[in-house]
Amino acid sequence: MTADQSPQNLLQKWWSNLSSIRLALILLLLLAGASLIGTLLPQGEKYAFYLSRFGPRLGKLIWWLGLGTVYQSPWFLALLGLLLVNLIVCSSRRLPDTLRRVKQPLQLDRYQNLPARLEVHWPAEPTDPRPRLESCLRQVLGPIKVHPEGETHWYLSLRGRRGYLGPYLIHLSIVLIILGGLIGMIWGFQGHVLIAEGDAVNHLDLPGHQESRPLDFSVQLNKFQVLSYPDGTPREYRSDLSFIQAGQEIFKGISRVNEPLKFGGLTFYQASYQTVPAGPIRLNVCHGNLCTPMEVPWRTKVDLPGGEASVMILRIEKDFQGLGPALLMAYKNGPGHPAIFWVVQNPPEDMEDQPGPHRFTLAEMRTRYASGLMVKKDPGVWWAYAGFILLLPGFWLAFFTPRQRWAVALQPDSPGGWRIQVNGSGVRHQEAFQRRLTRLQSRLEKGAGP
């Protein structure tokens, strides 16, 4: 038995595995793979759908692995959770070291041996060259630290040291975004209301739930409008809403596509609309020469006089292709499939004939709009947004703050002049390093003149 297998070491091994970059890489690619499955397989369908589409064996497998709801399945959430733990553990393990590195004063022994980049000679002159060199270096390299060592003067500079913090900011933002998603999943909800103009509702329909969710106020639709471009294509859908509590209107506002309305901790989104009747629908039904007026309810099957035929109004339109009010009717006479056709209030000359033997004309129909609103509460949104905002400085620091280390040595040269030796490195940003080096070179060479 070696010491390696003692429980403590095992725990340590687990811990280091949990925080390893290797695990992070595997998780990133697994999450990518899982997301890919979710886009290829139809999501959120019923059990029977997968059985009929993929056969009993494969369908069952898909269902039991949760591949029909990948993004809500326990194993996907577990992967996300593992990534969260990995991010937190990995970052908190490395952070102290990084902070030390950021705060640490520059130490000569770590800088002396940076790769040599440049050598410039300044001729002998009566004045001290040091102030001149210092100001030159400060201009090109920023803050510097002077470090005399015998006859040699060292000037040390670490540029972009805050850049080391970039990855931590990014990881923190990702953690916030994932947490925001989980918070929204647990404490948020999404519902739907369909309100006809003039009506008010005080509860939400929740998808996949039998009972609806009561509201402590009611929402009234005062008006729904479709605004159009000159060519007739829709430009804007808007609902004018009032919020009513204890019989009093307490808030009024407009919900448009792209401009939801917030009230009472909920957000109301313009989602859909339809035309609904604003009164009785009256038809004239003719059979041969015998015509009878008839009131037909909406979306309900009714038998015609005589009993052998029946009709149902499927849909109504306020203005059907510029022909005024119209309704879509299913008409069944005898066995076989029902015929489906439009009945228009002002039919044009070339209107297609109805199948008969019954003929229908639209006598009276008043309509109004009903607006479909999506209603949502998501307490996690601000967590995610905080993450979004933090990501920007994080990226800036991590990728666009070049880290460079410089060490410049000033030494007396043999004929009474001075030798300036420039060492430095900028591993991940060589182009930026090279640019600064060129600038430094031209400044130093200019500085050589009297």
Give the interface with other proteins as residue ranges (CB under 8 A).
21-22, 24-25, 28-29, 31-32, 35-36, 38-39, 43, 71, 181, 190, 229-231, 233-237, 256-260, 267, 269, 271, 374, 376, 378, 381, 384-385, 388, 391, 395, 399-400, 428, 430-431
- Minimum Å gap between C-beta 399 and other proteins is 5
Nearer to other proteins, 200 or 374 (CB): 374
Provide the pairing of β-strand 418-425 with 290-296. unpaired
Beta bridge pairs of residue 113: none
Rg (CA), the chain: 38
Nearer to other proteins, 53 or 299 (CB): 53
- Minimum Å gap between C-beta 401 and other proteins is 12
368, 276 contact by CB (below 8 A): yes
Nearer to other proteins, 93 or 366 (CB): 93
DSSP for 410-441, written as a single string? EEE-TTS-EEEEEEEE-TT-HHHHHHHHHHHH
Nearer to other proteins, 43 or 112 (CB): 43
Nearer to other proteins, 355 or 400 (CB): 400
Phi, psi of 449 (to 5 degrees): -65, 160
- Minimum Å gap between C-beta 257 and other proteins is 4
- Minimum Å gap between C-beta 417 and other proteins is 36
Looking up tokens 């460079």, which residue turns up?
404
Is the peptide bond preceding residue 357 cis, with omega within 30 degrees of 0? Answer: yes
Nearer to other proteins, 159 or 403 (CB): 403
- Minimum Å gap between C-beta 400 and other proteins is 8
| Alpha-carbon distances of 250 from 4, 191, 198, 200, 217, rounded to whole Å | 70, 22, 17, 14, 9
- Minimum Å gap between C-beta 343 and other proteins is 30
- Minimum Å gap between C-beta 237 and other proteins is 6
Strand ranges, E, within 229-334: 234-245, 248-256, 261-263, 266-277, 281-287, 290-296, 302-303, 309-317, 326-333
Q: Show the DSSP H helices in 188-291 as ranges.
A: none
191, 198 contact by CB (below 8 A): no
151, 130 contact by CB (below 8 A): no
Integer Cα distance of 13 and 18 in angstroms:
9
Looking up tokens 């620091």, which residue turns up?
397
Burial class of residue 159 (count of CB atoms within 10 Å of its CB; 0-12, 13-18, 19+): buried
Phi, psi of 58 (to 5 degrees): -65, -40
- Minimum Å gap between C-beta 223 and other proteins is 17
- Minimum Å gap between C-beta 429 and other proteins is 9
Nearer to other proteins, 142 or 388 (CB): 388
Residue 89's CB is within 10 A of a number of other CB atoms, namely 16
| Alpha-carbon distances of 355 from 289, 341, 360, rounded to whole Å | 16, 9, 10
Nearer to other proteins, 351 or 389 (CB): 389
Nearer to other proteins, 373 or 408 (CB): 373
